[in-house]
Amino acid sequence: MQSEAERTEFVVEEAGIRLDSYLSERLGLSRSRVEQLIEQGEVELNGAVPKKRAKPQPGDVIVVRVPPPESSHILPEEIAIDIVFEDSDLLVLDKPAGLVVHPAPGNRSGTLVNALLHKIKDLSGIGGVVRPGIVHRLDRDTSGLMIVAKNDAAHTRLSDELKKRKIKRRYLAAAWGHLAEDSVTVEAPIGRNLKQRKRMAVIEGGRPAVTHFRRLERWRAADLVSAELETGRTHQIRVHLLHIGHPVVGDGTYGPDRHKGFSGTDRGWAATLAKRARRQFLHATQLTFEHPRTGQPLDFHSPLPADLASIAEWARETR
C-alpha cells in the first residue's frame, strides 16, 4: 500500500454545489468519507480549511490529500477472483454473484476488498480503509465486470469519467412481463425509500438517474433486456425496472412475488422461472472506457455466467 497521502487538485468550473457533494462526485467517495477528510484537515479551499457546506465558485482551487488505506483494519484473504485485465494503473475483474464488494459493519471478511488486498500490492487510497481501489460497485448478487484502480491518479480520472458519463456500462437482465416497446429510456430520480431505509426508490428530490433498456429476447412471461447506465445510483437498474412495472427476475428485494401476478399457462411458466432463478438475473456484461493514463480505448465483455445462461436457455426453449 502507498506510504504517503496523494495530493489531488481541482479548479472549480461550476458554481452553487456544496463542497462535500462536489468532492463526492469528483472523487467517487461517499459524502461521509469526504466529511471525514475535511474534518481531518486534508481538504483546502483556496489555501484555507473550509466547511463542508462551503460552496466553491468558478476559479476556486481545491486541494485534497487522501491518506493511504489502513490495510491493517481489513485483513487480506486468499479468495479466488477472475482478473480479465491488469496493468500498473488498474485492473478489470469479473465478479461472481454472492461476493460482497467491500466490508461493512457485521461483514468484515470474505469480500472482494479482502481478496484484492491479498493479491494486489498497491491500490488507490481514495476509497478509504474499506474501499481501496473501488471505482464503482456491484450488488452482492449481481455478477460481472468491475474496474479497480491501483493509484489515486487513475482513480480520480476514472471517477471523473464516470461522472461525465464517458464510461459505458451495459448489463443483461431478465425482467418480468414485457416492455411496452423494444427500446425504453427511464429518467427518474432515485433516493432512499422513506419507509424502508434499506431500499431505494424513485422519489421526488432524488438524485438524477437515467437508464436505457432494449429488449433482446421476448420470452413467454419475461424479457431478456440490455440495460445501459448513464448514471450510477444504488440499485438503479432494479429500481427503474420496478418503476415501469417489470422488476428483475429473482430480485428478492424489489419483486419477490411478481411471478404470482400471471394467469393461465403463463402462471405456471413464471412459477418455474422463479424457482430456477436462485438470485437476481442481472449481469454486468460490458465495460468500455479510455485508459486513465494512456487514453487507449478499452472494451471488455463478459458472457452470462453458467447459472443465468442455463435459465436463459430454458426460457428460449419454452417460450
How crowded is the C-beta side of 304, counted as CA atoms within 13 Å?
A: 17
User: How many degrees, rounded to 5, is the angle at CA 280 between CA 113 and CA 286?
Assistant: 65
Structure-block grid coordinates of residue 103: 466490508
Active site annotation includes 307: no
Candidates 238, 174, 247, 245; CA nearest to 211 is 238
Across-strand partners of 36?
none
What CA–CA distance (Å, rounded) separates 225 from 213? 6
Q: Which residue is catalytic, options 139, 152, 223, 251?
A: 139
How crowded is the C-beta side of 145, counted as CA atoms within 13 Å?
A: 24
Q: Please name the residues in contact with 36: beta carbons below 8 A apart, sequence gap of 6 or more.
A: 128
Candidates 260, 268, 246, 269; CA nearest to 318 is 269
CA distances from 148 to 5, 27, 142, 242, 289 (A): 19, 14, 17, 29, 13
Helix (H) or strand (E) holding 285: strand 282-290
Q: Please name the residues in contact with 147: beta carbons below 8 A apart, sequence gap of 6 or more.
A: 90, 91, 92, 135, 136, 158, 167, 287, 289
Helix (H) or strand (E) holding 99: none
What CA–CA distance (Å, rounded) separates 248 from 255? 7
- Decide: 124 and 155 in contact? Cβ < 8 Å: yes
Residues involved in catalysis = 139
